[in-house]
Structure 1
Amino acid sequence: MLEIDGIDVSYGGVQALHGMSLTVADGEVVALLGNNGAGKTSTLSAVSGLVRPTGGRIVFDGHDITRASPPEIVGLGLVHVPEGRRIFSTLTVQENLQMGGYLVRDPAETRRRIDRVYGLLPRLRERRDQQGGTLSGGEQQMLAVGRAIVAGPRLLMLDEPSMGLAPLVVTAVMELIAEINADGTSVLLVEQNAKAALKIATRGYVVENGRCVLDAPAGQLADDSRVVEAYLGGV
């Protein structure tokens, strides 16, 4: 479904990615693990068209998207939920969800997708007329994911969805991601909470200094002493 083949990304004179390569197959949840500054966010930004690779190639569902614009990429069904939620704080929950369907030509389809989000997240339905900025942090994260669902992703990329959330809310977010995947959407997940990510992932990559240094099934990574020591708190 997604093939990232040897991409390089630079910001000014600083190279963030050095021949980054990874794949996501149809139906998978793939976790990207690594310390801050390892290149995880740069990878998602390159895939979604927010930054342009200086080398390598990105292919999604047979389409070369290396030079595609963000709207073109979303139109193909590849949707990115960036770090920090970035909802529209002055718009209501309903209006935020409607913004997710800005590329959907059929208003009835947008309504159907919003109803699906409300089915997955009844709390958002209760707050549909509430401004996004007045929601709790966990509710805002759910809204950001819900808005992405309205865009109709075949592959959903999530950047640090559990950041700053209480443990119970983290569990709810991970359960939501697993449910979205079970409904047929593939997921590429960047997550500092490696334990939580590996519980729902099919496979995982460890990223260091802008390249993947380890690729294995999630259960194998969870049992790898190097991964345990570096990312799972040594337990």
Structure 2
Amino acid sequence: MLDIHGLDVHYDGVHALRGLSVTVEQGEIVALLGNNGAGKTTTLSAISGLVRPGDGTVVFDGQEITRDKPHTIAARGLVHVPEGRRVFSTLTIHENLQLGGYMVRDQAEIRKRIAHIYELLPRLAERRDQQGGTLSGGEQQMLAIGRALVTGPRLLLLDEPSMGLAPLVVASVMRLIAQINAEGTSVLLVEQNATAALGIAHRGYVLENGVRILEGHAVELRADPRVADAYLGGMTHEPN
């Protein structure tokens, strides 16, 4: 579904990606792991057209999108939820969700998608008239993901959805991502919380200084002592 080959990106004077190759198959959750500065966010930005790569290709569903503009890429069904949630703080939950449908011409389809999000996230439904800026961090993250779903993604790019959230809230966010995937949306998930990411991912890649240093099935990565020592706090057993 997504084929990134030989991606090379210089960003703010830094060689952020160095010949990176990553794939996502239809129906997968693929985790991109690594420490700060590893190139994870730059990878998502290059895929979604926010950053122009110097070399390499990005192919989505058989069509090259390397030089396409962000709105064109989103219209194809490749939707990016950036780090930091970025909800519209003075707009209500419902208004935020409506903005997710700005490229959807069919108003009935927008209403249908929002209704489904309220089913997935009843807490948002209860507070639909509350301003986005008054929500907790976890609720804002749920809203940001919900707003992206109104766009109708076939592949969802999620950048650090667990950042700054309490462990119980992180678990709720990961359950939501797994449910979205079970309903047919593929996911490329950038996370520093490797334990949470590998708990729901099918496969994963580990980046370091813009280079892919490890890849494998999630079970294999969880059992790999190099991943356990660097990203799982030395934990080599299966997470609960």
Q: Give 1:159's aligned residue.
A: 159
CA-to-partner distance for each residue in 1:151-187, whole Å, 9 max, x for gaps? 0000001000000001110000000000000000000
Deviation at 1:100, TM superposition (A): 0.4
What amino acid is the match of 1:220? E
Structure 1 runs of 4+ with >4 Å offset: none
In structure 2, distance between residues paired with 1:12 and 1:221: 31
Q: Is the 8 A contact 1:21 1:211 kept in 2?
A: no
Q: Give 1:23's aligned residue.
A: 23
In structure 2, distance between residues paired with 1:111 and 1:211: 42
Q: Give 2:197's aligned residue.
A: 197
Q: Give 1:131's aligned residue.
A: 131
In structure 2, distance between residues paired with 1:199 and 1:16: 27
Q: Give 2:74's aligned residue.
A: 74
Structure 1 position 110 matched with structure 2 position 132: no
Deviation at 1:188, TM superposition (A): 0.3
Equivalenced residue count is 235
CA-to-partner distance for each residue in 1:4-55, whole Å, 9 max, x for gaps? 0001111243210000110000000000000000000000000000000010
Deviation at 1:213, TM superposition (A): 1.1
Instruction: Map 1:179-218 onto structure 2 (within 5 A).
Output: 179-218=179-218
In structure 2, distance between residues paired with 1:113 and 1:55: 37
Q: Tell me the SS of whatever aligns to 1:220.
A: helix
Deviation at 1:138, TM superposition (A): 0.5
Q: Give 2:227's aligned residue.
A: 227
In structure 1, distance between residues paired with 2:61 and 2:28: 14
Q: Structure 2 length normalisation: TM-score?
A: 0.97
User: Percent of counterpart pairs with the same letter?
Assistant: 71
CA-to-partner distance for each residue in 1:69-124, whole Å, 9 max, x for gaps? 11110111000000000010010000000010000011111111101110100000
In structure 2, distance between residues paired with 1:12 and 1:142: 31
Deviation at 1:194, TM superposition (A): 0.4
Deviation at 1:211, TM superposition (A): 1.5
What amino acid is the match of 2:175? E
Q: Give 1:40's aligned residue.
A: 40
In structure 2, distance between residues paired with 1:37 and 1:172: 27
Structure 1 position 144 matched with structure 2 position 147: no
In structure 2, distance between residues paired with 1:45 and 1:12: 13
Q: Is the 8 A contact 1:195 1:232 kept in 2?
A: yes
Q: Give 2:174's aligned residue.
A: 174
Structure 2: gaps (5+ residues): 236-240
Structure 1: gaps (5+ residues): none
What amino acid is the match of 2:11? Y
In structure 1, distance between residues paired with 2:138 and 2:132: 11
